[in-house]
Amino acid sequence: MNIKYGMILAAGLGKRMQPLTFKTPKPLLEINNLTLLERAINLLISHGLQEISINVHYLPGQIKSFISKKKFRVKITISHEKDLLLDTGGGVLKGTQNFGNNPFFVINPDTIWSKDYLDELKTLEAVYFKDNKPTLLLVNKKLSIDPSFKGDFNLNNEKISKDDENQLIFTGLQITNRSVLISEKSDIFSMNKVWNKLIKDKNLQGIKSNQRFYHLNTFDMYKKILSLNITD
């Protein structure tokens, strides 16, 4: 069984990337001639997705124009958070209204995605369909290029937990469904709030990535990653 839908989170302000983001939305920053957004889209297309939703807020016209010019081989819809940022959870809930009850990928373009992740998408999908429970792609903090990352999660038999020995961090890729989001009473909420509830009920799953983790979170990190030969 293959997932056909995906959501890309592209609505953030990118403040920690200033001055680069004064005139350019963060998802359109380039690493080796490919924008962060394009890397995320290409990965989802390579996995066989048929429809992708992208939320926008900051400099939305640039992202819309980029999508229009590229003519990607997949249906792309824009979810415009015009007045207020809805945070990660609220943005996903709004942006996936057309997905029905189908599961979908959610991907954060802050990570430098490449085709090296394709096998892990397949594994993530296989684990999700065992019990149809939200599943995160995690990575050991030691594999991150950024030594400042602290562990957020643990993993035991594909079940995610939290304790004082956390060694894993979220890569920015997950599979979820709308049923775990629609119970939220506010339009603005974080995915972390949803995850904490799922962890409490032992309903959040995960797998570990074996990839070196490149995550674009500051201007200095951008310069560091630019110096590396990261392919698509």
The answer for residues whose C-beta is within 8 angstroms of residue 112's C-beta and 6 or more apart is 31, 36, 39, 214, 215, 216, 225, 230
Type of residue at 213: F
Chain segment 164-173, per-residue pLDDT in tens: 889 999 999 9
The answer for residues whose C-beta is within 8 angstroms of residue 151's C-beta and 6 or more apart is 141, 165, 166, 167, 168, 169
Q: Domains (ranges, CATH) in the chain?
A: 5-226 (3.90.550.10)
Chain segment 33-49, per-residue pLDDT in tens: 999 999 999 999 999 99
Quick one: pLDDT band at residue 100, thresholds 50, 70, 90? very high
Nearest to 27 by CA among 11, 15, 42, 16: 11
Distance CA 170, CA 211 (A): 13
Chain segment 2-38, per-residue pLDDT in tens: 899 999 999 999 999 999 999 999 999 999 899 999 9
Q: What angle do CA 57, 59, 62 make, to 5 degrees?
A: 120
Other beta carbons within 10 angstroms of residue 222's beta carbon come to: 17
Structure tokens at 55: 């939320």
Indicate the pTM of the whole model. Answer: 0.96
Q: How much of the chain exceeds pLDDT 70, in percent?
A: 99
